[in-house]
A and B are shown apart, each in its own frame.
Chain A
Amino acid sequence: MSDQPEPSGGKPTPPESLEPSEQVRGRLLLDQRTDREIDEAVLRPMFETGPRFWILVGILGAIVAWGIYAWIYQIYWGMGVAGINRPVYWGLYIATFVFWVGISHAGTMISAVLRLLKADWRRPITRGAEAMTSFALMMAGLYPLIHLGRVWKFYWMIPYPNNRFMWPNFQSPLMWDMVAIFTYLIGSTLYLYLALIPDMAMARDHTDGWRYKLYRGMALGWRGTQGEWHKLHRALSIFSVVIIPVFLSVHSIVSWDFAVTIQPRWHSTIFAPYFVIGAVYSGLAALAAILVIVRRTMRLQEFLRSEHFDALGKLVMVAGMGWIYFWFSGFIVEWYGNDPVIRELIHEEISGGLAPFFWLQMTANVLPVLFLAFRRIRTNPAFLLALALLINVGMYTERALIVFGNLERNYLPFNWGTYRPTWVEVSVIAMTFAGFILLYTLFSRIVPYVPVWEIKEGRLRYSLRRIGRLLVPTAAEIE
């Protein structure tokens, strides 16, 4: 690794230690550092905000402001300012909604699933993943509002006693959607916050001024007693178990928005697992991209190491293989089924007007899987960043094709149509991308990006023992 700096202050590796143990040591962050040094290494980038940071915030803020203007413009004039029409009633708004919900899936994948599996390499990247989940869900949650014809009546979907004497229709997948996304947003935000409490206390003890007040409030009086740690661990274990069914259900429900209709190609039993695996694929790739960028801009090379990117890259690769498998399982059945409308849809997609998007999707989703098979590529941040972004371009295109591509054709050829997004849609979608980056950027300067207590705990949990000439990491008996 050419750009992998020597861990400063790391104890020189004993000459007799072999290659594998060195890897493990890096992955588990077992270098000799005092707790104090770790605290400072994490806190320093939070306080050092140069002019480039504020320029970035300014640009993102401007894009968000423009997007809000576009949204207000759409509310004022009507949905007609977007490019949707009959029969393409759903367009890029819904595609972007599915995309953001997908991005949100990696956070839980990383922190809950890997926490349960006791995969200890996850420790430094959990907080970044959880924050990504929460912010992506916030952006996703905007779209059901953005695409409503009468957004000022959105609360009619909320079940509460009202003067219409009506419940919402719980048969509708949109209701399931709303319930699932609210549950997931609340759950994942609480999960993020719970794991944050000890670090808030740590930050409280190292700061003064407004930051001290903020961290004191957010630390909820954490002192680090035995009882507090015990409760925190229990709460985190419960959360990581409970949130996994939520995480699986959210994207399944999003897929049922499409699959419960009888629109050809939407009406498919494979949609739920296909969407979930696609969500994990794009989410993990997005996480890899974010980690590469954060690592560089916040100088966290010490905590986010090539070993982590290696492990994350493997996960992305496996998810990508899963995506290819599910895509193919769905596609080949439809292709051989040769239903007239589906045949027309497939024809339109593979060799018709949508062909550029289809081939972009296939290239951008399949090619990275091949590249990620190589360790050299997985551990090269620049290459990994490029692949991760490519995967997300591919997954976005996939969602767009599913939503509007499949609506362009239907049973009655008289009603076939095309779709072209307008500046309003592009602006609003840019707003959510800029908003996500903005929230994430601000978050990384206010909250310790690397979960310090988890790293310290990991260091306690493992020690290196010498067996013969081999250094082996062994788990301590603190479970």
Chain B
Amino acid sequence: MEKAVKPSAKTQKNASERRWGMVIDLDRCTGCQACVVACHAENNVPVVGEREAASGRTMHWIRIERYWEGEYPNVKARFMPVLCQQCTQAPCEPVCPVFATYHTAEGLNAQIYNRCIGTRFCGSACPYKVRVFNWFRPEFPEPLGEQLNPDVSERSRGIIEKCSFCIQRLRRAELDASASGNPLADGAVQPACVQSCPSSALIFGDMNDPESHVSRLALSHRAFRLLDFLGTDPAVIYLKGGETNV
């Protein structure tokens, strides 16, 4: 069981390297959308407005999917945060003609904005539909322009972007750790969505470290991965929601 839900380590050069992963406990998710807001703020993701959102052009890197269960009046709402699953076998990677999407040594599925020419092939290939496109020049109406994160580049129109596991935070933490000589402690670095989750439904860490919080949670009998049958080998592990009523 634990084998089935752990992202494989095949992209690593050696076992000491990290494999960043996330655990999402569906029992804890309240659907409050704090992660969505935090992600927008952290990663300079533009807000497209009502009209564009209505035609399916929202640009959330993480979204709360809401599903209804049962028939009225016995209806339950189910929430499922979905972000880029950082697949080990990512369907989006081989189809990009210009290597704008590629696999890092840490197993992250990276998007290089400057290389992207906007074929949107990766967006069609992604089964999770987590890749978003800049349909127009991104705009940040005042006062949003005042809070742009200087660590993250603004994207131009005509390119694809997506969740990076807040790679700017990971890089900074890794650099600080190597400068100070101390190993990077579990939980010392968190993407914005994990940091902002009030119910700690999102947990982030190193899957290759058997002692890390995410590794221990991944052993749960509730663990599953989204669309696992497709063989994409995601690094995001979900914990099945039980009888929680919302």
Contact = CB atoms under 8 A, between A and B. Distances in A.
Interface string B121-158: 10111011101111111000000000000000000111
Given A149-B118, A174-B121, A414-B66, A80 B57 contact: yes
Nearest to A413: B67
A14 B132 CA distance: 74
Given A79-B158, A261-B124, A412-B129, A149 B137 contact: no
A86 to B, nearest CB: 5
A89 interface: yes
Interface residues of A, number: 46
A411 interface: yes
A78 interface: yes
A68 to B, nearest CB: 19
A411 B94 CA distance: 20
Secondary structure call for the A interface: loop
Nearest to A153: B117
A174 B121 CA distance: 8
A166 B99 contact: yes
Interface string A174-186: 1100100000000
Contacts of A410: 127, 129
B74 interface: no
Contacts of B227: 411-412
A149 B157 contact: yes
Contacts of A169: 94, 96-99
B91 A261 contact: yes
Contact of A89 (B65, B117, B133): B133
A417 B58 CA distance: 12
Contacts of B156: 150
A171 B97 CA distance: 8
Nearest to A87: B129
A260 interface: yes
A154 B133 contact: no
Interface centre among A85, A88, A144, by most B CB within 10 Å?
A: A85
Secondary structure call for the B interface: loop
Nearest to A173: B95
A411 B63 CA distance: 16
A417 B54 CA distance: 10
A32 interface: no
A2 B132 CA distance: 60
Interface string B62-93: 01011100000000000010100000000100
A78 B157 contact: yes
Nearest to A149: B118
B119 interface: yes
Contacts of A88: 56
A401 to B, nearest CB: 15
B45 to A, nearest CB: 14
A263 interface: yes
Nearest to B230: A262
A157 interface: yes
A172 B121 contact: yes
B159 interface: yes
A90 B120 contact: yes
Nearest to A84: B120
Given A171-B94, A261-B91, A150 B57 contact: no
B134 to A, nearest CB: 7
A414 B52 contact: no
Contact of B158 (A149, A156, A263, A414): A149
B117 A157 contact: yes
Interface centre among A79, A144, A151, A407, by most B CB within 10 Å?
A: A79
Nearest to B64: A414
A469 interface: no
B9 interface: no
B214 to A, nearest CB: 23
B97 A175 contact: yes
Given A168-B98, A413-B67, A407 B117 contact: no
A171 B159 CA distance: 20
A174 B127 contact: no
A148 B52 contact: no
A147 interface: yes
A166 B56 CA distance: 34
B16 interface: no
B119 A78 contact: no
A86 B132 contact: yes
Given A157-B97, A412-B65, A149 B116 contact: yes
B115 interface: yes
Contacts of B120: 84, 89-90, 147, 149
A149 B125 contact: no
Nearest to B120: A89
Contacts of A351: none
Contacts of B97: 157, 168-169, 172, 174-175, 178
A153 B118 CA distance: 9
Interface in A117-175: 144, 147-151, 153-154, 156-157, 164, 166, 168-169, 171-175
B118 A156 contact: no
29 contacts: A78-B137, A80-B57, A84-B120, A89-B120, A89-B123, A90-B120, A148-B117, A148-B118, A149-B119, A149-B160, A150-B156, A157-B98, A157-B117, A166-B99, A168-B97, A169-B98, A169-B99, A171-B94, A172-B95, A172-B96, A172-B97, A174-B95, A260-B94, A260-B95, A262-B230, A263-B124, A411-B127, A412-B82, A414-B63
Which 8 residue pairs of A and B lie closest in terms of their CB atoms, listed nearest first? A149-B118, A149-B158, A80-B135, A85-B56, A414-B65, A78-B157, A89-B120, A172-B97
Interface of B: 52, 55-58, 63, 65-67, 80, 82, 91, 94-99, 115-121, 123-125, 127-129, 131-137, 156-160, 227, 230
Given A78-B137, A153-B117, 13 more contacts: A80-B136, A80-B157, A85-B135, A86-B132, A87-B56, A87-B123, A147-B119, A164-B115, A173-B95, A174-B121, A257-B121, A411-B127, A411-B227
